[in-house]
Structure 1
Amino acid sequence: MKTILAFGDSLTYGANPMPGGPRHAYEDRWPTRLEAGLGGAARVIAEGLGGRTTASDDWYAAADRNGARILPTLLESHSPLDLVIIMLGTNDLKPAICGSALEASFGMRRLVQIIRGHYAGKGETAPQIILVAPPLICDTENADMIGHFGGIQHAIDQSGQFAVHYARRAQEWNTGFFDASTVARADPLDGVHLDAANTSAIGEGLVPVVKSMLGI
């Protein structure tokens, strides 16, 4: 059986777009739906944390949100791995964190380097990697949420650039690529998070990509 690590933020965690709403049910989260779609050929380990960035510090939370810093620990604890799926970058768009989709793509590049370097240092074969461009931020009346992202225009403009930059990084570093905005849309309740159906759709959309990469 293959082993896949799903590394992401609140969209991987299954955060509810309704303020104060409950976390999406386990069966609706995209890593769960991906595992189900693979029909027992692989297990998917979900590692989602709200607010996680690609490679930047966020001092507003008690948990360490810097993806680059925590990733080596997760690789070590969950190895051996056949595939790492990374869906990060939305939180990088916050001006206080990073501010742009281009810089987020450089953070994704750093995560690829960390994965390959980690296994090279151990003399082991590195897992394959899929870079996932997150769903687009949409218009919302939730002023607090969208304020984190520098206002609606900045958020929409920058999230709309995820796919082109991530596809370029994937080509440069010979990884897989998937654009989650082709199957999922953010909920206008907060403009960022997904309802259960759209969360599930990401996992289902990844199934053929993963099957092709892993030959299952």
Structure 2
Amino acid sequence: MTERVVLAYGDSNTHGTVPMATLEDQGRFSPAERWPGVCAAALGSGWRMIEEGLPGRTTVHPDPIEGAHKNGLAILPAILETHRPIDLVVLMLGTNDLKQRFSVTPLDIGVSVSKLLDALGQSRSGPKSNRPRLLVVAPMPIEEVGCLAGMFEGGAAKSRRIAAEVARVAALYGADFLDAGEVITVSEIDGIHFDAAAHAALGRAIAAKIGEMSV
């Protein structure tokens, strides 16, 4: 059986960042604990998971503080060419767009996701140079607590309107959709990241969705 390749493209919650008690915390869950690892284990043999989670990654914005390389759109073509052929891309971005420094709306975030879907559609990075299948995951709502509260000031209310915008865009592009907010919640420690139990739940939910897609 031909191995099917899944690219998990996201931010710190795909990277597996442990909820942060201070801004200096750099903890990361083990490969088996992170949601891509859980997902790969649930999918079983015949699948290969490529983890591309960068802390601070946005949809389309170079970060004036953390660096231009945080722009998810700018680096995406190189990643797709590196790993092709890719059967399925699981895209989960938008949380970092909620940082106060970007001053964007939920509608803006949906449009930004559409730019990523444009790039994925034009990449010809799937089997036989076709487009890979697309699963868009709306990030879960955030809370303004702990050491990251000031960075995400005003983002909690906005985050509750992202899923509807992302679902609308996914439908326009013929992509499958999953709302992470219906599966997990963020940690009370920093309001952005989630714990190992939530990683496990999300990984299983994404694997189940992939199974429904018949990739």
Normalising by the residue count of structure 1, what TM-score does the alignment of the two structures yield? 0.91
Q: Is the 8 A contact 2:144 2:150 kept in 1?
A: no
Greater displacement, 6-15 / 16-25: 16-25
Residue deviations 1:119-169, cap 9 Å, x none? 18xx821101111111111252x1x4111112xxx2221111121111101
C-alpha separation between the residues in 2 aligned to 1:107 and 1:99?
10
**Root mean square deviation of aligned Cα:** 1.7
C-alpha separation between the residues in 2 aligned to 1:67 and 1:93?
14
Q: Number of aligned residue pairs: give it.
A: 209
Q: 1:53 aligns with which of 47, 53, 58?
A: 58
- Give 1:188's aligned residue: 188
Note closer, same or farther for the CA distance 1:63–1:34 as it changes in structure 2 (3 Å cut): farther
- SS of the residue aligned with 1:85? strand
Aligned residue type for 2:98: L
Could you list the structure 1 runs, at least 4 aligned residues long, displaced by more than 4 angstroms after superposition: none
| 1:111 maps onto 2:111 in alignment | no
C-alpha separation between the residues in 2 aligned to 1:156 and 1:73?
32
Aligned residue type for 1:166: V
- Give 1:72's aligned residue: 77
Note closer, same or farther for the CA distance 1:21–1:115 as it changes in structure 2 (3 Å cut): closer
Q: 1:82 aligns with which of 84, 87, 90?
A: 87
**For residues 100-179 of structure 1, what are the structure 2 equivalents within 5 Å?**
100-119=105-124, 124-140=129-145, 142=146, 144-150=147-153, 154-179=154-179
Greater displacement, 111-120 / 194-203: 111-120
| Runs of at least 5 residues in structure 2 that lack an aligned partner in the other structure | none
Kindly, what percent of the aligned residue pairs are identical? 36
Q: Is the 8 A contact 1:4 1:45 kept in 2?
A: yes
Normalising by the residue count of structure 2, what TM-score does the alignment of the two structures yield? 0.92
Deviation for aligned residue 1:184: 1.1
